[in-house]
Every structure is written in structure tokens, then in C-alpha cells.
A and B are shown apart, each in its own frame.
Chain A
């Protein structure tokens, strides 16, 4: 069984000889994908627990001894950082990027399987370092997920430790730097594989949109993560060697610190130069995957394929010139703000193109309300709502009063929290039969979708209203300083928390469903959704190492031949030749 590893080359595919090499230190892209997914979900559950404790505190201030002011700020920090970097980025690019790119492109494996394996283990190390920060003196950092200096490294910040050892922030920064190394190794693979290892006939414009989304997000990540890497290293030196990259002269607790002259604004520029593309690193794979889900389950070709590709590319480019819209409240030259407000609003154009095209894909389609489809449609709702509040916040004058309120919390959770996560859910329900050979439980899936989707609205819509009332975000409890807020705001907080508890329970049920269905799920055939893309045409389900058996597939058409007139079956797989399909 010596197959060529890639079309056009004669390098043989590496075959593991031991059990350990096959399942643990595996170089198989699918196993690495599952490893990424499992790790991301595990650390995600920690973040879920943190969010529950925060909600309990907000609804019933001071009732629970598990969360005191310090822990609240640590929970805010860790929840944000874990969800954005260690869950969403790792799940979409590490998980789906690994699983989907070679399968959808018709490759046997990634271009550099060994580097790919190292990438996962380095990612695991970064997660472990992050987890370790919970257990050091003073606990994890409580500086907010943006880690703004001087707060982040000043004594007295939650997580600084009794002696001011700052272990929380040090471990956080080290973990981020290690994560970036892991991501770079993975990213080289996704990009090179999609550009280099496609099978015969798979031209760039025949690739499913999932692959487009993933490779564009990878390009963004490769160019944007260095900004975080650089700022993490410089901040580490500020903490450990007392340099003054970011730290101005600060008097803390009556003592003058050793720093002078550093610029916290410089950190913000570097951080958001990474931070804004990061939003699209998470969103672009979601855009791509949701396009495939909608097209498959509406039995209709994607509307405006080429426009979708261009929109992905345009969003990718634009995302690099909008970063300072996160810094309006830091104070800036009005012309600077004007420039960034303009570019921010321009991003609405390619994004709106995508939303219209998704809706037009559904229009007159033969819609099957399967669970992946429900999640995909749910995504269109939450993404549109979150996107529209983004237009509010993109304007300097609107952003200034709203920036420190719950309006912003509602906005970003809607647009880059819930929306990509709904796509992850939809994608898992969609590809689970290919990964395991079994279906996920339908009833639990239905409950999961409706609780999550309605719960999203029950949680985040009221937050927009709280924001208009002026309820400040990041507060442990309201206290006397916020007497302008009507007491009904507190009732709303209770309602939000109750909804959040239901949603959290639904996620636990989903994880149970994922695990139990491996053994108990209903057996699935190799192509249960009757989809056209290559991963459904593998000879074995779940695909074996090497994916394609003796010979690589040959692609004859684009990925969206659903309900083509003149054919009996309503889908034509990508590797179906014209002569075969005539019958």
C-alpha cells in the first residue's frame, strides 16, 4: 500500500508502524484534527464554567462564595482568551482545517504531516501552560482579555500574586507565544496543502467555499499573529527585565515603579493589529462552512460563487486596515478616527454581499430542515444582528458613549461568539457521520439547537438594552456609583442568567451526545446528506489513512451541482464524470 502522497509527486505516504504512532503521535491529518477538536472542546468547557460563575455573580451579587471580585476579573480574562484563541481559532483552523482541507481538496494528507503533528503537540503545551496559570501564586491574570498594560503588569492586579510575582500574566504571555508557534506550523500546512496538493481537476475555482474560508483565514493568521507574538515578548520583558516598552512611569500603591516613558498605546496598536484580523480568522472559516451547509441542505447551488470568493478575499484585505476602531476611547486624532470609521463601514459591503447570497441560496431551494441546516439558518440571524450593531459601534461618536457598556458585550458575543459557534455545531452535526460512521442523536440535536438559538437571543438581546441604560461592562457588582441605573436592570440580569444556565446545560448535553453517539449513534451510510464535495466520496467511512484507497479522485465539476436539470438524482458528486451521469 505505497501510495503517492500528493498528486504530481512521487513521495510515498508515511505509514505508522506502532499503535502509538497511529493514534497518539499520529501524522494522519484526520487524527490530528480530532485531537485539536477534543483539546479545544475540553478547554472550552473550562471557559463555559467561568462564564456560568460570572453570570451567577451578576444575577445574585455576593450570594456565591466561589466568586469574589478578584476571581470575577480572572474569569472575565480567561473566558475571553480561551474562547477566542484556544477554542475558536484552534477549532476552526486546527480542527476543521486539518480535517477538511485534505479531504475536500482530494489529497491523501497534509503537505508536511510531521510538522502538522508537532503543531498539535505544541498547541497542547500552550493549553497546558494556560491551565497551569490557574494554579500559580495569585492565580491566572485578571487584566481583561486584551491584557492592556500598565494594568496587566502592575502590582495589585488580580493574578499578580502576593509577592507581585506576576506569574499569571507571565504564563499567559508564554502560552500565547507558544500557541502562535503552533499555529504557524499548522498554518503553513493548510495553505500549502490547499495550493499544492489538490487532486486532478480541482482548480481553485472548483474548491468548496469552506476551503476558501480556511485558507484566507490562515493567510490572515500568518500575517497577524506575529503582532501578538511581538507584543507578548515585549511585555514579557517589561514584566521580567523591567524594560519600558509599554510601561510609562507609574506610581502604584504609593511606590514608584521602575519603568519610565513606555507607551501603553503602542501595545494597543500592536494588539489590535492582531486583534481585528483575529475576528475574521474566526469568521471566515465560518462563512465558508456555512455556505456549504446551506447549499447542501437546500439542495441548491450556492448563489454567486465567484462573488462569495471575492468577498472572502476582500474581507481579508480590509480586516488589516480597521484595527484602530477598537481604540476610539483611547483618544486619537479625529482624522485618524475618521479614516478607521470609514474603512470599518466599508467592510459591511462584502459582508452584506455574503448575507444576501446566503439568503438567495435558500430562495426557492428544496430546504431540508436538518439540524446542520437549522444551525446554518440560525447563524444568518445571529450574524446579521451582530453585524448591524457593529455598524453602530464603527462610528466614533456612537462608540464613545457605548464602548464601556453591555452594548459592546452583546455585540461581540452575537457576531464573533455565538455566530461562529453555531457554525461549529452545525458543522459537527454535518460531518460527524463522516468522522465516526454514525449519526448524532436527532432528538438531542433538536433540543440543543432550539435551546441554544433561543437562549442566544434571551441572553444577548437584553444586553443591548442594558447597554443603552448605561450599565457598565467589566463590573463585579453595580454598587453605589451606578445609582442612575434603574433597579429593573437587575431583574433583567437575573433573567439573562437563567437563560444562560439553560444554554450551558444544553452544551453539556451536546458534549454527551458527541461522546455517546460514537457507540450508540444510528449507523450512517457514507453520504447521508447526499452532498457533492469530495470528502463524502471516500471509499471508506470513516476514511482510512490515506483517504482515497488505491487511486486519487479526479474532479470533473464544481462543488455545487445540486438539482441540476435533466438528471435523475438531485446531486452530482464532484468526481462524477459526464459520461457516467448521463444514465
Chain B
């Protein structure tokens, strides 16, 4: 019995899986319609995200002793499980969603690019300056975070306001690139590369605006003298995470635009 099960598994792993793998490889090379390499890369990335989440849950399911043998008092493996605050966990989950949005649209970009009528985008040089400004905003909010850890209220205020200014400047800069392209006669319907440019930058701006909403709430709290600095430490931490992440997303998008 045991041997037959073992041989079944050996068959699956030794024969069936390589077959499927080789079929996948052929399938990607033989797809005449699309160039699937970019898409498969994106899917692989999404898959690893999923595996990470689920793998963690599976590992947890082993750590607990047989759940049905119990009643020996409250074992609390909740303790030490998440020492991060709930809002930080929520932010991380949100970042997963954002990752999903941008990787899917990148995969759509790759697929659409492989269809005949694609004319590569003529990137406005202004994008380099904008990238620098966004990086500055990321530095500024990082400064706010480290200042809040040291309880320097005044520095936190300055840093937060600097973050806001740089971020607004970045958004205005991005809109200026739209105006530049528009003036040169590159409309959204001119070519899908321009349509994708407007969508990608637009979505990124929307995410920044969402971040600015929460930035506004924290900044108002930070500016008021009644607020205890400890109350906004976690929110500043979440904001920092979010800002760094959006900088990362932007660098990824910019690289995608430059490379194609």
C-alpha cells in the first residue's frame, strides 16, 4: 500500500510535472498572438505574493498542537504573533492590493505592447526632476518618522509639511508632463503607449492623493498643541511605509516606461 502510494507520487513528480513544465515553456514560446514573457513574469510575482501569504498560514496551522485535543487552559499563540499595530498590518495589506493593481496593469502594458501598432513613448525630460522631487518627499517623511521616535515635535511638524509640499510639487509636475504631451499633440487616443502613460501616472497620482488625505489628518494633529506625539507615532510610521512604497512603484513604472 505504502509502496504504491510512493510510486504514485514518484510518477507525478518525475513524469507528469516535467511534462506540464515543458508544455508551459512551449506554450509561452509558441504563443503567436502575444509576447507572454512580461505577463508570465508578473503572474509569477503575483503567485509568489499569494504563496507567501498562504504559506505563512499553513506554517501557523502546523505550530498549533492537534486543535481537537484541548481544554488544558487558554493556550494563547496569539501573543507574539503580531507585535505590529493593527493599523500597520492594515497598511501592509493595502500595499498588497496596490501591488496587485500595478502589476496587473504592467502585465496589460506588456501584452498591448506586443500588438503591431505600438509607437514607443517619447518620455518628457521633466519626469527625471519629478522623480527627484518624489524622492525628496520620501526623505522628508522618513525624517518625520525618525524625529517622532525621538519626540522632536518641532522637527516632526517641519518634516510633515515638507513632505506635503514635495508631494504636491510632484503631482503638479506630473500634470505638467500631461500638458507637455497634450501640447505636442499626443492625446490618449493617439497611441496606446500614451494612453498607458496617462493611466499609469494618473493611478499613481490617485494613490498619492489618498495618502495625502491621511497625511492631512496626521499633520493637523501634529500641528495642534493638544496632541501628544505618541498618539501619531503609528500613523506617521504607516505614512512612511506608504510613501516609500509609492516611490518604489513610481521608480518601477518609470523604469518600465524608459525600457520600452
Contacts and interface: CB of A to CB of B under 8 A. Distances in A.
B75 interface: yes
Interface string A227-257: 1011101100100011111000000000000
Contacts of A578: 71-73
B147 interface: no
B47 A244 contact: no
A438 B34 CA distance: 59
Contact of B104 (A219, A226, A556, A560): A226
Contacts of B46: 223, 320
Interface stretch (A52-60, A66-74, A303-311, A455-463): A303-311
A231 B108 CA distance: 9
Nearest to A274: B104
A203 B78 contact: yes
Contacts of A581: 71
B47 A320 contact: yes
Interface stretch (B59-67, B135-143, B175-183): B59-67
A577 interface: yes
B115 A261 contact: yes
A400 interface: no
Given A237-B188, A266-B112, A336-B31, A226 B71 contact: no
B127 interface: no
Given A219-B53, A230-B105, A243-B188, A556 B73 contact: yes
Nearest to B79: A8
Contacts, number: 194
A269 to B, nearest CB: 7
Contacts of A206: 64, 67, 70
- Chain B interface size, as a band, is 35 or more
B96 interface: yes
B112 A263 contact: yes
Interface string B45-84: 0110111011001101100100110111111111101100
Contacts of A203: 64, 67, 75-78
Given A223-B97, A336-B31, A572-B71, A317 B195 contact: no
Interface in A27-60: none
A313 B26 CA distance: 30
Contact of A201 (B53, B76, B189): B76
Contacts of B97: 184, 187, 222-223, 226
A111 B27 contact: no
Contacts of B70: 206, 556-558, 561
A313 B199 contact: no
A191 interface: yes
Interface stretch (A95-103, A192-200, A419-427): A192-200
Contacts of A313: 54, 57-58
Contacts of A363: none
A338 interface: yes
- Chain A interface size, as a band, is 35 or more
Interface in A1-18: 6-9
A6 B50 CA distance: 28
B100 to A, nearest CB: 4
A369 interface: no
B125 interface: no
A86 B157 CA distance: 43
A200 B29 CA distance: 53
B101 A229 contact: yes
Interface stretch (B87-95, B165-173, B220-228): B87-95
A230 B71 contact: no
Contacts of B79: 8
A213 interface: no
B189 A242 contact: yes
Name, among B20, B58, B78, B198, the residue most crowded by chain A CB atoms within 10 Å (CB to CB).
B78
A349 B9 CA distance: 15
B36 to A, nearest CB: 9
Contacts of B111: 263, 266, 269
Given A301-B68, A335-B26, A204 B61 contact: yes
Contacts of B67: 203, 205-206, 305-306, 558
A577 B189 contact: no
Interface in A287-343: 301, 305-306, 309-310, 313, 316-317, 320-321, 333, 335-336, 338-339, 342
A532 to B, nearest CB: 11
Contacts of A76: none
Contact of A243 (B68, B93, B192): B192
Given A203-B77, A261-B116, 8 more contacts: A200-B76, A203-B67, A226-B97, A226-B101, A243-B188, A263-B115, A320-B47, A336-B31
22 contacts: A7-B78, A111-B87, A192-B86, A196-B86, A202-B78, A204-B64, A205-B64, A223-B46, A241-B187, A242-B188, A243-B192, A243-B195, A266-B108, A309-B61, A316-B54, A333-B27, A335-B23, A335-B24, A335-B26, A338-B23, A561-B70, A581-B71
**Which 3 residue pairs spanning A and B have beta carbons closest together?**
A201-B74, A335-B27, A205-B64
Interface of B: 20, 23-24, 26-27, 30-34, 39, 46-47, 49-51, 53-54, 57-58, 60-61, 64, 67-68, 70-79, 81-82, 85-87, 89-90, 93-94, 96-97, 100-101, 104-105, 108, 111-112, 115-117, 187-189, 192, 195, 198-199, 203
Interface of A: 6-9, 111-112, 184, 187-189, 191-192, 195-198, 200-206, 219, 222-224, 226-227, 229-231, 233-234, 237, 241-245, 258, 260-263, 265-266, 269-270, 273, 301, 305-306, 309-310, 313, 316-317, 320-321, 333, 335-336, 338-339, 342, 554-558, 560-561, 572, 577-578, 581
